[in-house]
Amino acid sequence: MKNKFRSGCPIASTLDIVGDKWSLLIIRDMLIKHKKTFKEISDSDEKIAPSILSARLKLLESYKLIFKTKVPDNKKENIYLLTEKGIRLTPIIIEFSLWGDSNMREFNEIDIIDGLKADKSMIIGTVQNNYNSMLLQFA
Amino acid sequence: MKNKFRSGCPIASTLDIVGDKWSLLIIRDMLIKHKKTFKEISDSDEKIAPSILSARLKLLESYKLIFKTKVPDNKKENIYLLTEKGIRLTPIIIEFSLWGDSNMREFNEIDIIDGLKADKSMIIGTVQNNYNSMLLQFA
DNA sequence: ATTTTTGCTTTCATTTCGATAGCAAAAATA
DNA sequence: TATTTTTGCTATCGAAATGAAAGCAAAAAT
């Protein structure tokens, strides 16, 4: 894996990893919808192609935003879970959600998301707590 | 301009506009470094190609994140400024900065950014206030 | 009057994307 | 046990985006 970082700027470096059209949607599905398998993530509204999903999962794993595991009773199915690093993307996801909700209605019909009017840090806390609770069954 | 939105999800819709490797870096330069001309933005650490910068500025303008103006004593130079919609991206930019600062040091040497330890909403407020103050000279 | 700067556009090679098909191993079903 | 279905991918290939370099006209500076 060659060095793909354009500069030492933390914003640019973050964009170098998740600055594409798909990575943050994969994270969204994992973090908010608790999707865990290739199949589940494939079945999103936005129809990600398997070749892209495969490549993104590998990349996200290489930067330790996600990790791969299995459950004892299924030898085939991979379970993809967010690491701490990945879970810490929650504030970014929530800010994207809030910005789209407030600023894109002029150009696209935006879904109403329940609870988006609540206090920001509470939303972030809730999302992270819910994910961590779900994680316990794999610990 | 064809409809390029993949779904009604606010996160996906935001990604459809600024979900590429360059748009948020252009916004960063405008918002934080107060860059205003094609030349100034071209001279970033990350060396954006003029063809890409040109295309991005047009796109950001079409979605009303930025607007173009001129100063009376220079007929050539375009001045690019952030709109309200654009300025409202501040929380996203700050979260990218914080996440990169905390999570990417393992993979890239990340610049130390002054004042990033301060209270999040204070940082956001300061960045936005500074930008708005600068804007006054064009009002 | 000449040179330099600015804000682009054009060109074209390279890279990435993305739709579709395919496939082997495992799981489910008969 | 045999067959079918599901899962988690990989391969292929045309289309789109990226990016390096050159070019260029209008304006500004000298």
- Ordered by start, the domain boundaries in chain A are 10-138
Set of chain B residues whose Cβ sits within 8 Å of the Cβ of A96: 10-11, 14-15, 92
- With a cut of 50, say whether residue B1 has pLDDT above it: no
Gap between the terminal Cα atoms of chain A: 30
Is the torsion defined by CA of A114, B23, B90, B38 positive or negative?
A: negative
Confidence of residue B82 (pLDDT cuts 50, 70, 90): very high
B58 or B127, which is more confident? B127
Residue A76 has pLDDT above 70, yes or no: yes
Chosen CATH of A10-138 out of 2.40.50.140, 1.10.10.10, 3.40.640.10, 3.60.15.10: 1.10.10.10
Burial class (CB in 10 A: 0-12, 13-18, 19+), A49: exposed
Computed over every residue of chain A, the mean pLDDT equals 90
User: Measured between CA atoms, how close is A118 to chain B, in angstroms?
Assistant: 16
What value does the CA radius of gyration of chain A take, rounded to a whole number of Å? 16
A90: Cβ contacts below 8 Å, ≥ 6 apart: A31, A124, A127, A128
The pLDDT, as a whole number, for residue B2 is 46
Q: What's residue B98's pLDDT?
A: 96
Q: Would you say residue B59 has pLDDT above 80?
A: yes
Residue nearest to nucleotide D19 (CA to C1'): B49
Q: Which two tokens stand for residue A137?
A: 């069954």
Query: Near strand C (CB < 7 A), which residues?
Result: A 20-22, 47, 49-52, 55, 73-77; B 37-40, 50-51, 54, 57, 68, 76-78
For chain B, list the strands marked E by DSSP.
66-71, 74-82
Query: Is the predicted pLDDT of residue A1 greater than 50, yes or no?
Result: no
What are the structure tokens assigned to A28, written together? 């969204």
